[in-house]
Amino acid sequence: MKKALNYMKRNGVKGTFYKVRERLDHDGADREHSEMVLKMRPNEEELAAQREEKYLHPYRISILVPAYETNPLFLKEMMGSVIAQSYENWELCIADGSESDLVKNTVMDMTGTIDAAVAKKIRYRKLESNGGIAANTNAALEMATGEYAGLLDHDDLLEPDALHEIMRVLSDNLRKDGNVYSNRLKAVYTDEDKVDQSMQYFEPNVKPSFDIDLLRSNNYICHFFVFRTELGRKAGGFLEEFDGAQDHDFMFRCLENIPVSAIAHVPKVLYHWRCHEDSTAVNPESKRYAYEAGKRAVEAHLKRKGIAGTVEHTEHLGFFRVNYEAVPATVLRLTRQQWDEMSEEQIEQISEDYILILAENLKPLSPDYLREMMGPLSRYEVGCVGGKIYDRHFRVESAGYNKDETGRYVPNFKGLNGHYSGYMHRASLMQRTDGVSLDCMLLRRGAIEFDGGKPKLAQKYIVIFDPYAEFRRR
């Protein structure tokens, strides 16, 4: 009720109605997900086989845990989920900023009941004072001796095969140069969900491959994030001015200047984000400051990259809108029919910077839709921007397309109620897609090439779905 009232204050009665309605539509899926987690969890025989697996380069993975007055039950369960890992070359680095000895005593109790060899892999440090989550995480990073490090909150849980799945991806990306092996991967992340105090799993976050535009809209990577330890240190570690969104800021500084090929996604739920009354997972209002820090993290990233634009909060806490500053440009406006009838020679003779293709039966709902779509094209890597199309019944007709395993283009969120924000709000967030509707697109003229006389986007350019340029069928 408290969450609903807070949401109503920000977004009004109508917005709250559709928010609640969409939430109820997801409840059945959450129940199915909890059953699926248990079904997909490897059994003891499978875990034993994973423990016997041999790796050419068995990296040590340092798990970084900043702790502060942690509930002993949650802390023990977190530690237990690490100890249970089928991949055994890990270390658990706990940096404790607590004023009391609560965490220290819990760690000592836990290590006193397990095998001595395993206990040695648990590294504990009592900090002189609580420096905040960024400073405490930096202390854990200083303790790390592994080639890779992963971020784990003090009350969250890992699946028993989490590190095994990470190692499988790292092993697949080993490269040999003479007698020296190196790994092209600098970072790996997994899917995640939430878990309540009755150990029911819900709200799975199934993530796409690395997408800087989606990361600017929301820290969709979040957990479980594993990075090359050296990369994290060179990036400067965690900054206290972004406390509450320190991970989001850290990920930008780690990932913004490395190739996409150095970032891997494991499409499996391997991390469970604990929900209790004071956590942001269950009550976003409990840490409103974190969302202000997140906004500043996106702004700082844009400034480092030299990208002109402003950042604002959306109606969903923790989700942001980037307003890119459109550069002056000339635009040729065409209907879909005109575009379809143009020859290669005619297209090559177009002198305008951009080509807007808009079907005649589309009514703009966004008054400034052209400026909105021109914004992302101010970035050199963007070749095409598509808007969001609703049908006559105000259901989503087009919100970008992504390719499936067979290479077929599949429409995203097709049929979704136009008042809904979609899975993880992604129907309402700017992001990269594999394609957009030919009925509504803004093309960079210099990004067009031809294949058998047919125009297509040159491979080096990306396509952006812009949900803030909205249209409806007449």
What pLDDT, in 10s, does the model give residues 157-211? 999 999 999 999 999 999 888 888 889 999 999 999 999 989 999 999 999 999 9
Contact 102, 70 (CB under 8 A): yes
pLDDT in tens, 220-234: 999 999 999 999 999
What's the CATH number where 179 sits? 3.90.550.10
Q: Per the domain annotation, does 94 fall within a domain?
A: yes
Compute the average pLDDT of residues 376-382.
97
On whether both 137 and 268 belong to a single domain, the answer is yes
Q: End of a domain among 268, 287, 304?
A: 304
The answer for 344, left when phi > 0, alpha when psi is -120 to 50, beta otherwise, is alpha
Q: Per the domain annotation, does 7 fall within a domain?
A: no
pLDDT for res 212: 98
Q: End of a domain among 240, 269, 304?
A: 304
pLDDT for res 15: 62
pLDDT for res 79: 98
Q: Indicate if the pLDDT at residue 21 is higher than 80.
A: no
Compute the average pLDDT of residues 438-458.
95
| Beta-bridge partner residues of 410 | 402
Q: Indicate if the pLDDT at residue 18 is higher than 70.
A: no
pLDDT in tens, 76-133: 999 999 999 999 999 999 999 999 999 999 999 999 999 999 999 999 999 999 999 9
C-beta contacts of 9-18 below 8 A and 24+ residues apart: 10/315, 11/315, 15/315, 18/417, 18/419, 18/420
Q: Per the domain annotation, does 310 fall within a domain?
A: no
On whether both 279 and 141 belong to a single domain, the answer is yes
On whether both 297 and 338 belong to a single domain, the answer is no
Number of domains composing the chain: 2
Q: Per the domain annotation, does 314 fall within a domain?
A: no
* Alpha-helical segments (H) within 41-101: 44-52, 72-83
On whether both 348 and 275 belong to a single domain, the answer is no
On whether both 107 and 190 belong to a single domain, the answer is yes
pLDDT in tens, 233-284: 999 999 999 999 999 999 999 999 999 999 999 999 999 999 976 555 555 5
Q: Indicate if the pLDDT at residue 26 is higher than 80.
A: no
Return the SS3 of 465. strand
Sorting pLDDT into bands at 50, 70 and 90, what band is 62? very high
Q: Indicate if the pLDDT at residue 20 is higher than 80.
A: no
On whether both 125 and 48 belong to a single domain, the answer is yes
Contact 322, 294 (CB under 8 A): no
Distance CA 186, CA 138 (A): 19
- Six token digits for residue 212: 């800087």
Q: Indicate if the pLDDT at residue 16 is higher than 90.
A: no
On whether both 356 and 396 belong to a single domain, the answer is yes
pTM listed for this prediction: 0.91
Domain extent for 97? 41-304
On whether both 114 and 149 belong to a single domain, the answer is yes
Q: Per the domain annotation, does 31 fall within a domain?
A: no
pLDDT for res 14: 63
Sorting pLDDT into bands at 50, 70 and 90, what band is 217? very high
On whether both 46 and 114 belong to a single domain, the answer is yes
On whether both 269 and 337 belong to a single domain, the answer is no
More confident residue, 278 or 134: 134
Q: Per the domain annotation, does 439 fall within a domain?
A: yes
pLDDT for res 177: 81
Q: Indicate if the pLDDT at residue 286 is higher than 90.
A: no
N residues, the chain: 474
Q: End of a domain among 304, 323, 350?
A: 304
Compute the average pLDDT of residues 360-371.
96
pLDDT for res 31: 76
pLDDT for res 192: 97
On whether both 354 and 293 belong to a single domain, the answer is no
pLDDT in tens, 450-470: 998 899 999 999 999 999 999
* Alpha-helical segments (H) within 195-330: 212-217, 229-234, 246-255, 288-304
Q: Per the domain annotation, does 204 fall within a domain?
A: yes
Q: Per the domain annotation, does 3 fall within a domain?
A: no
On whether both 205 and 336 belong to a single domain, the answer is no
